[in-house]
Amino acid sequence: MSIQAEYVVIGAGPAGLAAAGFIAKAGARVAVFEGRPRPENVFGSYPVVLNARGLAALESLDPAVVAKAKEIGLSVKELHIVPGNRTVAKVPTYGTCIMRDQAAQVLLESAEAQEKISFFWDHKLTGIDFETHTCTFELPDGSKKTVVAQRLVAADGNRSRVRRLCQEHVADFSAEADDWGFQLRFMNSKGVDGQTEVSPDTHFVLGDKGYVCLQPNGEWSISLRVLPESDEEFITGEEATDANVQKLKEYVQTHAKFVADNLLDDEAYRKYYDCRAFGGVVVKCSCLNPAGWICLIGDAAHAVQPATGEGINSGLEDASVLGAALKEHAEDPFAAFDKQQRPNAYALQKLALEAKDRVTQPPPRQQAVNVMVTIGLAMAKKLHIIEGTKQDFMLGEKAQSMGVKSYDELVSMDERQTSKIRPIANALATIFRVPKEHPQAQKQS
Ligand SMILES: Cc1cc2nc3c(=O)[nH]c(=O)nc-3n(C[C@H](O)[C@H](O)[C@H](O)COP(=O)(O)OP(=O)(O)OC[C@H]3O[C@@H](n4cnc5c(N)ncnc54)[C@H](O)[C@@H]3O)c2cc1C
């Protein structure tokens, strides 16, 4: 016999756990189904930053959750942009650096204390009967369990099974999932004893090459961008041969000398080759409430790539918007959610594609235009022509001091701010004959 549930959440990641909390807070019973076992090692994951948006969403769920996240996380004060060993920008930042699984753990402990939420670990969703609202789960021993859900919240991540099933079975629903275009690999290290040059409350963007920050467990996280098609063996390879390790050391020394000198030792370089490469997709859905009784949230609805810095924050915001919709539009909360969040999901996808350009080496003219637009905006800010750029209202401290703006507002603000600078930058790049295509692409055509 099938289990009956009022609300079913698929996925116990940050978005799913927060959604379960908000659903219970609205007075409904909710069953969370997660394909993996209950997590134990929170440091097996990667660091993320809870910014003003994510923290505001958690605050509206339970101030104790924010307090706990801040207690176990590390405050981030500045973001330094350091391409090729040169610091070109220092951005005042507001946020808490925490491991993705630590954030989930804080939400999990809060959810487990609520009697309206029940958990089903090791339950992997494999199918949905859209007519009868029946979800089928596979258990580790190969057995199956079915659950009939009145309403289903899909928080099953960027490769969402629910989203794919909706694509196959729900008329008028479609979704795009475009590869990040790069991968990430991580090195962890305790750092050189007594080093004071690299500040623990600053995060560093190594241009398009990587990202550096201190994790809450006291280890430095150095992530490197991998382009599987074009990078050399010492970046893409899986064997810590002496030649690979030597080239990797030289690479870090060239692009981030402060990292090579202060943070990394031989073991960290060798362990790079044990780290799997993380990849992902950027997602855009035609709507967020396919079939009416299903609601897509978090990465399932609008996965971005890490350079956007909004993955976890947008998922937590979704949960909070869903919580408000449950209270204010009890008759059809998912339609209300879709109405509010679809424009934001589309704007977020736009931000993600722009962020991708900063990581994947766009053609020279595009790069030149991007640099000129960035310089133009920085000047406009200095002259108080604009109050801040979109980044200032995402990871920047303006999101805290002046209020969080929706992604839709941010994209409109950016379009207004760059509407005059971008054509001028384009014209200059054309006059100075900056190539439109990469030199290799030009040779081939
Ligand atoms: C390498 C890397 C670095 C990142 N860096 C950042 C960063 O710096 N800042 C930032 O904001 N974001 C970052 N992100 C993105 C961020 O981790 C995600 O946006 C966030 O975790 C999304 O939360 P979610 O709950 O929607 O999905 P997820 O965290 O992916 O959780 C989905 C859950 O659903 C479960 N699940 C999947 N399929 C099924 C199924 N069929 N049945 C049952 N359960 C299922 C999964 O096991 C998982 O627990 C990064 C991501 C990666 C990979």
pLDDT tens series, the chain, 445 aa? 567 779 999 999 999 999 999 999 999 999 999 999 998 887 778 999 999 999 999 999 999 999 999 999 999 999 998 988 888 888 899 999 999 999 999 999 999 999 999 999 999 999 999 999 999 999 999 999 999 999 999 999 999 999 999 999 999 999 999 999 899 999 999 999 999 999 999 999 998 899 999 999 999 999 999 999 999 999 999 999 999 999 999 999 999 999 999 999 999 999 999 999 999 999 999 999 999 999 999 999 999 999 899 999 999 999 999 999 999 999 999 999 999 999 999 999 999 988 877 777 778 888 888 888 888 998 898 899 998 899 899 988 899 899 999 999 999 999 999 998 899 998 998 998 888 887 666 555 5
Cβ(301) to ligand 1 under 6 A? no
52 CB under 6 A from ligand 1? Answer: no
* Cα 298 to middle of ligand 1, angstroms: 8
Which residue among 274, 309, 331 closes a domain? 274
Give the closest residue (by CA) to ligand 1 atom 1. Answer: 278
Whose CA is closest to atom 31 on ligand 1? Answer: 13
Per-position b or e across 174-202, b if 16+ CB within 10 A of its CB: ebebeebbbbbbbbbbebeeeeeebebeb
Task: Check whether residue 128 and residue 245 sit in a common domain.
Answer: no
| Domain end point (choices 306, 327, 356) | 356
Cβ of 15 closer than 6 Å to ligand 1, yes or no, is: yes
Are 139 and 167 members of one domain?
Answer: yes
Q: Is the CB of 155 under 6 A from ligand 1?
A: yes
Task: Please provide the distance, in angstroms rounded to a whole number, between the alpha carbons at the two ends of the chain.
Answer: 62
108 and 154 part of one domain: yes
Around 143, how many Cα atoms within 13 Å sit in the side-chain half-sphere?
Answer: 4
Q: Is 245 within a domain? A: yes
Is the beta carbon of 309 within 6 A of some atom in ligand 1? yes
Domain count across the chain: 3
263 lines ligand 1 (CB under 6 A): no
Do 167 and 187 belong to one domain? no
* The pLDDT of residue 46: 92
Domain extent, residue 317, equals 3-43+100-178+280-356
Rounded to the nearest angstrom, the distance between the alpha carbon of 127 and the centre of ligand 1 is 20
Do both 149 and 296 map to the same domain?
Answer: yes
The residue among 327, 279, 330, 322 whose CA lies nearest residue 301 is 322
CA of 104 to the centre of ligand 1 (A): 10
Q: Where are the beta strands (DSSP E) in 216-280?
A: 220-226
Question: Which residue from 368, 379, 376, 361 is spatially nearest to 419, judged by alpha carbons?
Answer: 376
Closest atom of ligand 1 to CA, residue 186: 1
Contacts of 131 (CB under 8 A, 6+ apart): none
- For ligand 1, whether the C-beta of 388 sits within 6 Å is no
Does residue 287 share a domain with residue 246?
Answer: no
Question: Using N-to-C axis directions, what is the helix angle for 311-328 and 333-359, rounded to 10°?
Answer: 170
Residue corresponding to tokens 């928080």: 155
140 and 167 inside one domain: yes
Domain-ending residue, one of 226, 248, 274? 274
In terms of domains, do 117 and 142 share one? yes
State the Rg of the chain over Cα.
23
Same domain membership, residue 381 and residue 347: no
Cβ(184) to ligand 1 under 6 A? yes
- Token pair in block for residue 384: 């108080």
Report the pLDDT value the prediction gives residue 13, as an integer from 0 to 100.
97
Does residue 58 fall inside a structural domain?
A: no
Q: How far apart are the C-alpha atoms of 56 and 401, rounded to whole Å?
A: 12
Q: What b/e readout covers 279-315, taking b as 16+ CB neighbours within 10 angstroms? A: ebbbbbbebbbbbeebbbbbbbbbbbbbbbbbbbbbb
The closest residue, in CA terms, to atom 12 on ligand 1 is 311
Residue 300 resides in a domain: yes
**For residue 83, how far is its CA from the centre of ligand 1 (angstroms)?**
28
Q: Considering only CA atoms, which residue is closest to atom 52 of ligand 1?
A: 306
Which residue owns the Cα nearest ligand 1 atom 41?
125
Say what the pLDDT of residue 296 is.
Answer: 98
Could you give the CA distance from residue 280 to residue 100 in angstroms, rounded to a whole number?
15
pLDDT at 440: 66
Cα gap 175→173, rounded to integer Å: 7
- In 287-434 the beta strands, taken as DSSP E runs, fall at 294-296
Residue 112 lies in a domain: yes
Contact yes or no for 313/53 (Cβ under 8 A): yes
The span from the CA of 156 to the CA of 166, in Å, is 13
Q: Which of 299, 316, 318, 358 to mutate to test the pocket of ligand 1 (most atoms within 8 A of CB)?
A: 299
Within this chain, do residues 218 and 325 fall inside the same structural domain, yes or no?
no
